[in-house]
Amino acid sequence: MLKIGVVTISDRASAGIYEDKSGKEIEKFLKENIENEFEIIYRLIPDEFDKIVKTLKELVQKKCSLILTTGGTGPAKRDVTPEATREVIQKELPGFGELMRIHSLKYVPTSILARGIGGVVDNTFILNLPGNPKAIRENLEAVWAAIPYTIDLIGGDYIESKTAFRPRKK
């Protein structure tokens, strides 16, 4: 069965200071946009480089075809999600970060501060989403259409989705 990792990266949420609304927003989006059955493997961790790397590697090993992270993509000192993701992936797909930033410019001029990346390791596609639940949805709406086909190309599990785009076979 299709497995999807959802990793909330937040010092405060992981310390129980506030509820993790971001992870829930991702889950909601996935349920609205995926038709076949899937299992979510959920993790809630602080903004620590080593913990992020370890968690991503664990979820890759568990054969998640997709891992969505939320949080830690900004310019502040504690924001290290892109660096940790870069440590794990074999190939970066710069178009994902670019399109999320351009698309979010419609909502706020500060969207250019986001440093989230998309990348591939083995049969897993990892994408860094921002921490803000509203921004999560805006970002997923921008790039979702391309995600299932990306996972096809790297040999991951098939995602059935009416909102996805797959080019016709040549």
Applying CB under 8 A, which residues contact a second copy?
74-77, 79, 91-99, 101-102, 105, 108-115, 120, 125, 132, 143, 145-146, 149-150, 153-155, 165-167, 170
Pairing outcome for strands 124-129 and 66-70? parallel
CB nearer to a second copy: pick between 53 and 99: 99
Element (H, E) at 83: helix 81-88
CB of residue 98 vs a second copy: minimum separation in angstroms? Answer: 6
CB of residue 109 vs a second copy: minimum separation in angstroms? Answer: 4
The span from the CA of 164 to the CA of 110, in Å, is: 28
CB of residue 115 vs a second copy: minimum separation in angstroms? Answer: 6
CB nearer to a second copy: pick between 37 and 47: 47
CB nearer to a second copy: pick between 41 and 113: 113
CB of residue 64 vs a second copy: minimum separation in angstroms? Answer: 16
DSSP string, 28-78: HHHHHH--S-EEEEEEEE-S-HHHHHHHHHHHHHTT-SEEEEES--SSSTT
CB nearer to a second copy: pick between 69 and 150: 150
Q: Which residues contact 62 (CB under 8 A, 6 or more apart)?
A: 3, 5, 41
